[in-house]
Amino acid sequence: MTKSKNYAKKYREKRIGYRQVFLIICAVFWVIYPFITRLVIRKIPEIETKFFSSSNGLIIDLLLYSKEIALAVFTGGVILYFLGERIFPDHIEKIDRDRLKSLKLPLICIGIYAAFSILSLVFSDYKETAFWGSNAEYEGLLAVLCYIAVFVFALYYLKPRHDQKKTLSVTTIFSNAIVVLSLITAILTLIEIYYKPILEIPIVQDLISSSENRNIARSIKNENFIGQICLTFNNPGFLGGFCALILPVCFSISLSKKGFKKWLCIVAEGILILAVKWSDSKAAFVSLIVFFPLAAVLSCISIGRKSSIKSKNSTDESGETLDYSCSTKRDVIISAISVIAIGAAMIVISKVLPTYSSRVRPEGIPEQAVSNTKENNGIYRLSSAKIEDGVLKLWSEDKLLEISVDQQKLHDCYKDYDASDFADCLVFSDGSDIIEGRYPAVLKATNIREEKQGFKLSDDRYKSISMCVEKELLIIDFGYSGTVEFYISEKGIRIFGQGSTLLEEIPQPRITGLESIYSFGTGRGYIWAQALPIIKDSLLIGGGNSTFAFRFRQNEIVGLLNTHGSCKYVIDRPHNWYIQIACSDGVSALIAVLVLFFSYLVTFIKRYKENNIMAGAALTDIGLFSGLAGFMICGLINDSCVTVNPIFWLLLGWAVTRQVKQKT
């Protein structure tokens, strides 16, 4: 009998029942989920129009809303299937009380997370946004409950079974799904680097849009991420975290494969390293540096223990078949070195061959760097900015510049509005003496406006400041990459806030003394420091998912300028998964999630160290541990996102349920 016939016979002997069909459908869904894309035009809640760019309250979304809806539909289908099994079972599956007892801690933790997420919505001031999620993330309570349902689904349906030798096993189905997902990601990575962004390809644009929205789809451009890739993950950081999650899992799975399949996996894994590099996600890169070698080392140790196993194929206490016949320590080392070598070679090649970004911007200077270039005398680095009784006060350490409005001259300007120069009604002083002299200057163009003619003050203390007055609009350039806009009114100076609203006062930081950490993590330190008061307000119940932008003190121009170089940013998320949970669902929910994560990590380490005949942990468990731990590290820098986190919760549930000891 030939090898192919043996292979076919092997799988003919596997029984494929209705549950296997269900699990295959689920696996296919998770393979395509990260790439689900649809152009959607939605009306957003009025509160969101104050913070996010929109036209007549409409927002265009490609990646987030469609994924949230797909996730909700999948979750609903799983729940209906579960109920159907209870109503029309082929055979009644008794509840394994011992297994349920072993899963008590994870179930309690996930239940607490769900309960406090719901309570946070109930008491939220922004219920619509808290349920659906803001248009910037679409990760409201609906998405969080879906994550929890996906985790429970994995606990129940992805558990190893004693009869898996007779059926197509859960491990086989989902291991193959991870491999296929890695291959698709690798292929799309190469397309995006060397050809063009996936969402700029005309055939893709036609597929993701209806006929009436075709022109909008054709106008999609990857302007924000030139020199990076993000595929269909909405943000390069999310792509990096995704690769850090699945690469160790795919690597461990590939160790049990042979020949062409094994090397196909190794090449895909090498390209995933390239994807992390091109995502420019520092957290994901650090995660791979730590946890990919860890996966290889743990696999070597695990395979080394096979000498204590009498047969090549043994069954552990969970019912999992441990097949060590396909790999040796030498195979693991060769595979790991090959993955790293292919990844390194791919990175070098991407620096030599023409890429999409090099064709779009051949000079190699990022757009932001161009707009940040200044031909002035440095920066008037703001240490404080206030508006008191209509007078704008700008401090730079011990220097003070005051700008006030001469009301009589302002009234004269109103009388002959078109011919008047409103700059004449401004009075400048250092807090005690009037500053009279001015001379012409140019405000350099930025990425949101053209070059403008303006003036500087003759006093050398303020030589870094350029100003332009267009009727009542006062534009001040302090030397940062962005300018600040004020409004001249009969009540004095006002500042433009989000949604072009006029504010009588400049918002001040809610917490001071932590300015030294503002620049950490490309400005994340500033957000984390100013999020501390929100966490304090969320010790029990949070403010609702996706409501961070409403609770964070926006328009605090000094911190924004010194951190980001511009005050045009809306801080809509904390850029830290754990702070995000604390602010959204409460510190109680965060503690429950951390206990869940920590308990899984400790359980794996404990089982791995067990010194008995079944001490060799299945290679898949090692990959899951390394990928999940790496993703948890990425959570220190990245937010939770509907594009990636559902897969994390699926793999976490799979990993947790595999650690439960089964009765033999």
Q: pLDDT category, 242, cuts 50, 70, 90? A: very high
Please write the tens of the pLDDT for every residue from 44-83: 888 888 777 666 778 889 899 999 999 999 999 999 999 8
What are the distances in angstroms from CA 472 to CA 220, 413, 626? 35, 10, 58
Please write the tens of the pLDDT for every residue from 457-472: 999 999 999 999 999 9
Question: Could you count the other beta carbons within 10 Å of the beta carbon of residue 135?
Answer: 25
The pLDDT of residue 327? 66
Average pLDDT over the chain, rounded to whole? 88
For the cut 90, the answer to whether the pLDDT of residue 9 exceeds it is no
User: Cα separation of 599 and 165, whole Å?
Assistant: 30
**pTM for this structure?**
0.91
Structure-block tokens of residue 549: 């932008």
Q: What is the largest CA-CA distance in the chain?
A: 103
Query: In the chain, pLDDT over 90 holds for what percent of residues?
Result: 69
Structure-block tokens of residue 545: 């998912």
The pLDDT of residue 522? 87
- Under 8 Å between Cβ of 446 and 435: no
Please write the tens of the pLDDT for every residue from 510-550: 999 999 999 998 899 999 999 999 999 999 999 999 999 99
What are the distances in angstroms from CA 80 to CA 32, 153, 208, 230? 21, 12, 28, 34
For the cut 70, the answer to whether the pLDDT of residue 306 exceeds it is no
Residue 122 CA, chain-centre distance (Å), reads: 26
Q: What are the counts of helices (DSSP H) followed by strands (DSSP E) for the chain?
A: 25, 16
Tell me the pairing of strands 473-477 and 484-489.
antiparallel
The pLDDT of residue 8? 47
Burial label, 133 (beta-carbon count in 10 A; 0-12, 13-18, 19+): buried
- Under 8 Å between Cβ of 256 and 326: yes
The pLDDT of residue 367? 41
Which SS3 state, helix, strand or coil, does residue 234 take? coil
User: Cα separation of 111 and 152, whole Å?
Assistant: 10
The pLDDT of residue 366? 43
Residue 597 CA, chain-centre distance (Å), reads: 19
Query: Helix-strand-coil percent breakdown of the chain, rounded to 5?
Result: 55, 10, 35
Across the range 85-100, mean pLDDT stands at 73
Q: What is the CA radius of gyration of the chain?
A: 29
- Under 8 Å between Cβ of 404 and 391: yes
What are the distances in angstroms from CA 172 to CA 160, 175, 246? 11, 5, 16
User: Cα separation of 593 and 455, whole Å?
Assistant: 55
Residue 352 CA, chain-centre distance (Å), reads: 30
Among 195-209, 215-229, 507-521, the least confident range: 215-229
Among 114-128, 343-357, 427-441, 490-504, the least confident range: 490-504
The pLDDT of residue 533? 96
If one compares 3 and 610, the residue with the highest pLDDT of the two is 610
Q: How would DSSP label each residue in 501-565?
A: -EESS----SS-S-GGGTTHHHHHHHHHHHHHHHHHTTSSS-S-TT-HHHHS----HHHHHHHHS
Residue 602 parent element (H or E): helix 587-609
User: Cα separation of 131 and 148, whole Å?
Assistant: 15
